[in-house]
Amino acid sequence: MKWWQLAALQPNVAQIIAEAEKKVCEQHQKIAAVSLFNQAKVLKAFQTAKISEDCFHASAGYAYNDLGREKLEELFSHVFKGEDALVRPHFVSGTHTIYSCLRGLLRPGERLLSITGLPYDTLTRAIRGKKQQTDAAATQHSLQLRPDEGTLQDFGISFASMALKDFREPRNENSLRKALQAPTKVIFIQRSRGYDPLHPSLTIAEIGELIERVRFFNRNAIIMVDNCYGEFVEKKEPLEAGADLLAGSLIKNPGGGLAPTGGYVVGKEKYIEQIANTLSAPGLEKALGAFDQKRLYFQGFFMAPHSVAEALKGAVTIAAALETLGYQVEPRFDAPRGDLVQLMFLDSKEELEKICRAVQSFSPVDSFFTPVEGNTPGYSVPIYMAAGTFVQGSTSEFSADAPLREPFTVYIQGGLTYQHIILGLAGILEACLAEKSD
């Protein structure tokens, strides 16, 4: 019996995948080489930090002198080339992690400037609040910000954003010089595209070029990179390109599919201290914070270079296979990648629903559920989330998100094993072929 027969698939689906795999051999080899380099880097860090079984013991109460917590943060510092790190389960998401960084770094009267356009939905909400229609203005269809949510703007911190193409445009030097001067203190760079199909994911070389341009106009600004979805995609990380801080979620790439929750920040020690004061309280810094299930965080971080490589190999195969059927994808199978997210553009909501249902049906958990559109905290539009994952919301596992707005786009990401991604791809292809035959 063939694998596609066991999975109750049609033979033409297996043929499409086989042809796609032939096409992406060179990309797979490059991904494997990067993975080997990163695995060596992580292994060396484990050895340098002298990780032992004692590091896996749980702590309770205040958790003063927690060896495992301190060693885990030492590991992240080594691997991501920072002076210090804050790695905690107390960060509930990537958005919470980055918001905590911004609250720790910025003071009333100062400004945050994003040079990669508006950040993704949940972070934009945390920065400037939710726009809502007021009763008095209902007839005029005008909107105003809801006050007192605890957003950055509620604390007197201003915010501005600049489209990536405008930031790169040489003719904008005068406006750029003005935007980068006081009260601007923190420059924000989003490495992934978020839910913006027009925002490309950024490679380390591209991040380096942006940082060099910032430094030309303002040498003292704090440059922070949202590194979500980008960890271990390349041999280098943003601190090696000149960033001061990078941050992300542990249920994405660096958790290796094993970390049950949490986030991380790595960078200059003085900034980590400020952020730690925000996470706990001024004066407490990094000294407290009980930590359970530490083995999963250590093991997940060790597995991360491999799991990221599996996801990347799956993404390029998905791109090649979907291109064969005539679908527009981004990035293309042979294009440079700054993260592990694969976009698939669709013509209708109905087509989007079929793709998400296919991903859900080939999941190891909740495969019998049917994903439906729903309101998700922090987002302004309903979202389809197809994710039968072991850790809820873990995008290091094979999953697909799709906000219900045009252009209809499915964001496919993750995958703990290449083989599972291929099975998921087979389900997507069957849905696509059925759509074309209707």
* pLDDT bucket at 171, cuts 50 / 70 / 90: confident
β-bridge mates for residue 401, sequence order: 385, 411
Q: Are 401 and 195 in contact (CB under 8 A)?
A: yes
For residue 342, is pLDDT > 90? yes
| Residue (of 13, 62, 7, 5) closest to 322 by Cα position | 13
pLDDT tens digit string along 351-382?
A: 999 999 999 999 999 999 999 998 888 888 89
Q: What is the mean pLDDT of the chain?
A: 93
pLDDT of residue 135: 41
Q: Tell how strand 329-330 and strand 342-345 pair up.
A: antiparallel
Kindly report the CATH number that applies to the domain delimited by 3-39+305-437: 3.90.1150.60
Helices (H), 49-120: 67-80, 94-105
Q: Enter the tokens of residue 325.
A: 């059927």
Domain ranges of the chain: 3-39+305-437, 55-301
Q: How far apart are the C-alpha atoms of 384 and 372, rounded to whole Å?
A: 6
Instruction: For residue range 395-423, list pLDDT tens digits in order.
Output: 999 999 999 999 999 999 999 999 999 99
Tokens 């080939």 sit on residue? 362
With cut-offs at 50, 70 and 90, classify the pLDDT of residue 141. very low
pLDDT of 416 reads 96
Report d(CA 138, CA 148) in Å as an integer.
21
Average of per-residue pLDDT across 281-289: 93
Query: How confident is the model at residue 170, as a pLDDT?
Result: 85
- pTM recorded for the entire structure: 0.93
Position 132 scores a pLDDT of 47
pLDDT at 133: 40
pLDDT score of 130: 73
| pLDDT mean over 21-25 | 98
Dist CA 389 CA 69 (whole Å): 26
Between 37 and 434, name the one with better pLDDT. Answer: 37
What is the pLDDT at residue 321?
98
Question: What pLDDT is stored for residue 146 in this prediction?
Answer: 63
The string of DSSP codes covering 6-36 is HTT--HHHHHHHHHHHHHTHHHHHHHHHHHH
Question: Would you say residue 139 has pLDDT above 50?
Answer: no
pLDDT surpasses 80 at 111? yes
84-88, 252-256, 371-375: the lowest-pLDDT one: 371-375
Q: What is the CATH number of domain 55-301?
A: 3.40.640.10
What pLDDT is recorded for position 131? Answer: 59
Tell me the average pLDDT across 333-348.
96
Residue 145's pLDDT is 53
**Closest C-alpha to 265, from 396, 391, 105, 394:** 105
